[in-house]
Structure 1
Amino acid sequence: MVEVLSEMSAVNQARGESRRKGADMDITEPGPAPVARWADLLSGRNGVRSLALAGGVALHAVNVYIATTILPSVVRDIGGLDYYAWNTTLFVVASILGSATSARLLGAAGPRGAYVAAAALFALGTLICAAAPSMPVLLGGRIVQGLGGGFLFALSYAMIRLVFAEGLWPRAMALVSGMWGVATLVGPAVGGVFAELDAWRWAFWSLLPVVALFAFLALAVLPRRSGDSNDRTATPTTQLVLLTAAVLAVSAGSVSNVLAWNFAGIVAALIAAGALIVVEAKARHRLLPRGAFRLGAPLGALYATMALLAVAVTSTEIFVPLFLQVLHAQTPLTAGYLAALMAAGWTLGSIASSGASEHGARRAVQAAPIIALIGMAALTGLVPRPSDGAWNVLAPIAVALAAVGFGVGLGWPHLLTRVLKVAPDDERDLASASITTVQLFATAIGAALAGMVANLGGLTDPGGVAGTSAAAFWLLAVFALAPFAALKTVATR
């Protein structure tokens, strides 16, 4: 699923808050660390704090890949194939709301109380998912789980500056963001093993002891209050409601095979998006910086490029485990790891280009949609054709999956950096925080549209191998248009 690589956003947001409030306000260990070593971060009380904060992101990230891996088994057991993509859409929408309101939770409850409350909410959602007798109940659990996961995700970054000396912030950021790489290894393994044992519910049950452990660690080492306890960061509530309405409108339209209902869902989403733009233009508390909704503006072109590239990955990654199991005779474990190749490629691409010069960065951004488009075109030709799962068929599919992720990752760090450079001077912090919002929104709307295209393509009617093959073709062909469109937005950037 989504590879939420928002460490750059978190780093700059933390720095912005530090500039506003004073870097030493909330550091619980007085005095700067003269040498920022890994040993200072990972030993003693700091080591336990690191484990607690990294664990918050790890829970959110691992759960993403567990759910993606076990979903084919879930729908075989309790039904709800029509709502397949809703599992991702609702989880991500709830994560957006949790992430956007995490500052209020932190200010109201303090670091310790906020973390424990978020963990409890995540555990409640996980419990509902594990015991769900039907898809509607499971979706309800995913909403609660996503809200708690969004809190944990945002709080883990935000609390770095509250519990560590400033010299340790970069290493702490690297440690926390690195949990997404860990998730690509652990999530498919946990989900795949339990799915192959016909015990998908235990994939959720297995998370509960881990949640309890990290909550206990938070109680033991996180401060009860902080200097931010009286800070009430304003939340753009109206914009968040409209954003959620746009995603849910597409999702509601996606469950029907009747084209009129699909069209109605898209129209409703466009109306909500239009209202969001109008409200945002007049709002005192903004969700995105000025110029974010104008494609002709540098910031608008950058956000559009980010969204299009993220949609290409999300729409594909959600359904790949299902396509590989039905069309290519793969086990849940193998299908889960093959799907995770997109996330691995994204990470590899980001690492490979992160040290590029200004000229190299421009070339990386220009190459990103080209490589992603080539990968999507290859998947469109390979995945829909049923096979016996021999590796001479799977190997090209694996390369294509990795190529899509690699292409997106290649340009990603430079797109994020460019957002911070072109944002208005008085909205740099808002631009930093908005990076995660834009990517999560793209993930949610991409998942909703992917569900609509797959259902229209035949996933549920006629279903079976023939319907799944047709759905795979239409989904991959349609979403290959996303990196194709990004070629244009990159050119206007």
Structure 2
Amino acid sequence: MHTRDVPPDRHLQFIPSSGASVNEDIHHTSKTGWAALLSGANGVRSLALAGGVALHAINVYIATTILPSVVRDIGGLDLYAWNTTVFVIASILGSALSAKLLQQTGPRGAYAIAATMFAFGALICAVSPSMPIMLIGRLVQGFGGGFLIALAYAMIRLVFDEALWPRAMALVSGMWGVGTLVGPAVGGIFAELGIWRAAFWSLAPVAILFGLLAATVLPKRDVRATQRSSVPFAQLALLMASILAISAGSTSSDLTRNIIGIVAAVVLTVLLINVEGRARQKLLPLGSFHPTTAIAALYATMSLLAITVTSSEIFVPLFLQVLHHQSPLWAGFLAALMAAGWTLGSITSAGASGRSVSRMITIGPLLGLVGMAALTVLLPKASGGTWLALTPICLALFGIGLGVGLAWPHLLTRVLKVTIPSEQELAAASITTIQLFATAMGAAVAGLVVNAGGLIDPGGTEGTTSAASWLFGTFTLAPLLCLVSARRVAKA
């Protein structure tokens, strides 16, 4: 699952630590190649921005890998999906509040505070005696993580020339590749040793070290900044409440509770749209909820791609361990193939232009559809864990991620290009808001589907088989619908 972004306030200006102006620095690094992005002052900034996302990504895959071991130790199978839901909801709130944090502390201070909060959340997870306490730790971690990823995308627009945006987006997204290598390895090794708590202990000092590094290389705040932006708290509250409504219903296999949760989420979403339409302080750019606009088609495509990945990624390690007899380490690595595909796709397609961009955008959901259909057939079939049985599953996971990666950098860049100049900052913020909302909603609905599908009752191999069939069969609809919205985006 990828939580792969709120910019500084539009009235804040930043100057590099050297004293040179950002515009002047951009003027000297206007080339479009990777060398321009990764060398000189741009290289240092790229390291800082990508490092925060890498830390966030590593944590995601550590948590995903060790969660089956956590449940076996402290219980909470019915709250399995809540680990992702709570983390992502907190990330949404963190990203939304990051503009205020930037106004008060500047990028250096904001990164330091975000990293400290992230580390504190990891420590809570490490000492958790029960799943509810674990969820508190995930909440704090998510809040800090929301700051980290919001800063990354916001600073891309502020410190890099527009010609470098696609590659900078690809670099930031590519940090999920680092997460796919480090996260499952760290989580899997500790889980197999029976000391899953050590995985969280290891994150805390790394987060603190990164905060210190970022604080030394990021730009300073311009003291001339005077105006302040406000946060659309009403819309954020309704957005988070809609996710929590489905999550609350997902903790039970009772159909009545499931339906109540879904109905409540729909009602809250309708209220969100109405409040957003009348509010002065917007959560999203104008036209976001109008089906005929380009920005609406972009958001729909992004959301459906994110939901496709999230719905699969959360439960794949559990399914691989129960149905295909994989160790926590291998289950984590195999599940991370989706993120590896995302990373490769992002880096490969970053240099595309012209008609090639439209092709990348339409290929994404097509690969997702094929991959999800394959998982619907293959993953629920229990096996002895032979490579003959696992290879097609691995290809399907990788293909889903590859499709998202091919389209993702160009979708994000188009979001910034189709919005009017006065809403550029809001558009940059919306990247995180939309992605995290889709991720949280996907996790919540996935939890509802697997619990209703038998993961809890009857449970065991029989229940897990049924849950896997229902999960992938249901969420195959996401890339299918995405094909429609992606075609609209490609033709725009």
**1:74-101 deviations in Å (ceiling 9; x for gaps):** 1111111111111001101101110111
Alignment partner, residue 16 of structure 2: 27
Query: What's the offset of the Cα at 1:157?
Result: 4.9
Change over 3 Å in CA distance of 1:403–1:492 after alignment to 2: same
Alignment partner, residue 419 of structure 1: 415
1:38 and 1:291 mapped to 2: Cα distance?
36
Moved more, 396-405 or 430-439: 430-439
TM-score (norm 2): 0.89
Question: Is 2:436 the partner of 1:440?
Answer: yes
Moved more, 241-250 or 52-61: 52-61
1:220 and 1:421 mapped to 2: Cα distance?
32
Give matches, 1:292-441, under 5 Å: 292-441=288-437
Pairs aligned (count): 477
Query: What's the offset of the Cα at 1:490?
Result: 3.0
Does the aligned pair in 2 maintain the 1:26–1:228 contact within 8 Å?
A: no
SS for the counterpart of 2:95 is: helix
Q: Percent same amino acid among aligned pairs?
A: 60
Alignment partner, residue 33 of structure 2: none
**1:274-301 deviations in Å (ceiling 9; x for gaps):** 1110011011111111221122333222
Name the aligned partner's letter for residue 394 of structure 1.
Answer: L
Query: What's the offset of the Cα at 1:53?
Result: 4.7
Question: Is 2:36 the partner of 1:40?
Answer: no
Alignment partner, residue 90 of structure 2: 94
Change over 3 Å in CA distance of 1:58–1:406 after alignment to 2: closer
Does the aligned pair in 1 maintain the 2:249–2:261 contact within 8 Å?
A: yes
TM-score (norm 1): 0.89
Does the aligned pair in 2 maintain the 1:37–1:168 contact within 8 Å?
A: no
Question: Is 2:183 the partner of 1:194?
Answer: no
2:267 and 2:405 mapped to 1: Cα distance?
32
Alignment partner, residue 244 of structure 1: 240
SS for the counterpart of 1:461 is: coil
Query: What's the offset of the Cα at 1:175?
Result: 5.8
Query: What's the offset of the Cα at 1:370?
Result: 1.8
Alignment partner, residue 291 of structure 1: 287
Does the aligned pair in 2 maintain the 1:107–1:230 contact within 8 Å?
A: no
2:256 and 2:224 mapped to 1: Cα distance?
50
Alignment partner, residue 126 of structure 1: 122
**1:197-216 deviations in Å (ceiling 9; x for gaps):** 11110000011121232234
Query: What's the offset of the Cα at 1:485?
Result: 1.4
Change over 3 Å in CA distance of 1:485–1:199 after alignment to 2: same
Alignment partner, residue 133 of structure 2: 137
Match of 1:83 among 71, 79, 83: 79
Name the aligned partner's letter for residue 28 of structure 1.
Answer: S
Give matches, 1:40-189, under 5 Å: 40-41=40-41, 53-158=49-154, 177-189=173-185
1:175 and 1:402 mapped to 2: Cα distance?
19
1:462 and 1:205 mapped to 2: Cα distance?
35
Name the aligned partner's letter for residue 40 of structure 2.
Answer: D
SS for the counterpart of 1:241 is: helix
Query: What's the offset of the Cα at 1:173?
Result: 6.9
Name the aligned partner's letter for residue 463 of structure 1.
Answer: G
1:491 and 1:56 mapped to 2: Cα distance?
33
SS for the counterpart of 1:293 is: coil
Change over 3 Å in CA distance of 1:358–1:465 after alignment to 2: same
Alignment partner, residue 2 of structure 2: 2
Query: What's the offset of the Cα at 1:486?
Result: 1.5
Alignment partner, residue 211 of structure 1: 207
SS for the counterpart of 2:314 is: helix
**1:94-140 deviations in Å (ceiling 9; x for gaps):** 01110111110121133343333222221221111000011011011
2:198 and 2:482 mapped to 1: Cα distance?
40
Query: What's the offset of the Cα at 1:415?
Result: 2.6
Query: What's the offset of the Cα at 1:482?
Result: 0.6
1:53 and 1:427 mapped to 2: Cα distance?
23
Does the aligned pair in 1 maintain the 2:455–2:463 contact within 8 Å?
A: yes
Change over 3 Å in CA distance of 1:257–1:286 after alignment to 2: same
SS for the counterpart of 1:101 is: helix
Does the aligned pair in 1 maintain the 2:150–2:429 contact within 8 Å?
A: no
Change over 3 Å in CA distance of 1:230–1:152 after alignment to 2: farther
Does the aligned pair in 1 maintain the 2:87–2:138 contact within 8 Å?
A: yes
Does the aligned pair in 2 maintain the 1:41–1:172 contact within 8 Å?
A: no
Does the aligned pair in 1 maintain the 2:3–2:435 contact within 8 Å?
A: no
Does the aligned pair in 1 maintain the 2:252–2:451 contact within 8 Å?
A: yes
Change over 3 Å in CA distance of 1:278–1:365 after alignment to 2: same
Alignment partner, residue 466 of structure 1: 462
| Structure 1 segments unaligned to the other structure (5+ residues) | none
1:208 and 1:349 mapped to 2: Cα distance?
31
Does the aligned pair in 1 maintain the 2:154–2:428 contact within 8 Å?
A: no
Name the aligned partner's letter for residue 257 of structure 1.
Answer: S
2:215 and 2:435 mapped to 1: Cα distance?
31
1:169 and 1:357 mapped to 2: Cα distance?
13
Question: Is 2:452 the partner of 1:456?
Answer: yes
Name the aligned partner's letter for residue 2 of structure 2.
Answer: V
Query: What's the offset of the Cα at 1:403?
Result: 1.0
